[in-house]
Chain A
């Protein structure tokens, strides 16, 4: 029951609710537990409630760390993660 995929907010529907897109599936969720979410933001949804917002810059940073793994192995200078 903990499985979830990031959802994109497509519309604010009044109250604390929003319509989100979950990989093509639209559904209504609650934003009552998060603050300042806007249309276009990605959120983590769990049992019908958004728990947090996904930060695109941080995601890019994590992906860059993955890519660096390849370099380490290729013999470049490996180092500690920042």
Chain B
């Protein structure tokens, strides 16, 4: 397939691997965070870690929209469906995220809640039109990639004069999450988490462009390389990061030039700023309250804001005590550091959100990396 196969070529992968090995200074260690769940998935699925020299380590970042959703926000959706008799629509991955009292959206559904899965925001709007007698709420999650479609349907709902459609907005912002990681005590207090640079997201960057990352490069002296989602993209990005570190540079470089420009998708950006504004603060699983890290619906569109329409407030709920998702999302721990990884907590029965989506660090390690740590013994 064009734009896919040539970016998965095994021969080239080995060449890139030896290039990285040749350029990495054996006298030092390199730790790079891939911010985005799509990269986490690619790294695990294609065994990129095995191709890297031992002194180049990848840290999984918090860039999986499902994994960073706090319990309190899912509780809101469940409350809407069970107590307000509202039809709640959500992207499929959210349905299994553990919520309070042993519930998830899926389990609430079994208790009679009308919660359904949709593939796109457009499907949500269409369903609201088909169910005029019900209040329909779209549980919108995601980074800068899913925000423009949500903005679009809110505008369409107004144009159609729909009175039974609203959005529970959980859209979050990539740059603020990166700032929060860089500001976290583990990264700042020298030595706990070494972080030498970032692989910048692919799809998010198609929307916001490469410019927003310049701040990290300048302010925190961390190189950023925006990379595509194929394994060779990731390896090339690692190579570019190693080079920057070796040369003492901290710049924003773009490996994904086939889809990402400096200014990004201006049409999508204009739409988003018409419909959304910054939230003063938003809770992230693992990162806690992060200032100005999420969006809310502007007052001019408040009739489509489910929080406004139903007078809902988010009640913060602590995560499962055994779950290490928080530390994993900050890059401080690895999935295998969790006591219940692979035993009590599995993709079939997730305890924490990192195990829910295939882009979560725990699920990716469970599905693809679990046996790598087991030594091979000849029979």
Contact = CB atoms under 8 A, between A and B. Distances in A.
Interface of A: 1-6, 8, 23, 30, 32-35, 42, 44, 46-49, 51-56, 58-59, 61-63, 65-67, 69-70, 72-73, 78, 80-81
B3 A6 contact: yes
Contacts of A49: 120-122, 148-149, 152
Given A49-B148, A72-B22, A80-B243, A61 B229 contact: no
A48 B206 contact: no
B203 interface: yes
B1 A4 contact: no
B120 A58 contact: no
Interface of B: 1-4, 6-7, 12, 15-16, 18-19, 22-23, 36-38, 41, 64-66, 91-93, 119-123, 142-143, 145-146, 148-149, 152, 203, 206-207, 228-229, 232-233, 236, 239-240, 243, 255-260, 265, 267-268, 271, 357-359
A2 B265 contact: no
A3 B359 contact: yes
A62 B120 contact: no
Contacts of B148: 33, 49, 51
B231 to A, nearest CB: 11
Nearest to B36: A2
Contacts of B119: 47-48
Contacts of A63: 6-7
Contacts, number: 142
Given A1-B359, A72-B23, 6 more contacts: A1-B66, A2-B359, A33-B148, A46-B145, A49-B120, A70-B19
A55 B41 CA distance: 24
A6 B4 contact: yes
Contacts of A53: 259
Contacts of A2: 36-38, 64-65, 143, 145, 203, 359
B258 A69 contact: no
B3 A33 contact: no
Contacts of B4: 5-6, 23
Given A1-B359, A47-B120, A73-B15, A8 B243 contact: no
7 contacts: A33-B265, A33-B268, A52-B207, A52-B260, A65-B236, A66-B236, A78-B23
Chain A CB within 10 Å — which of B19, B240, B357 has the most? B19
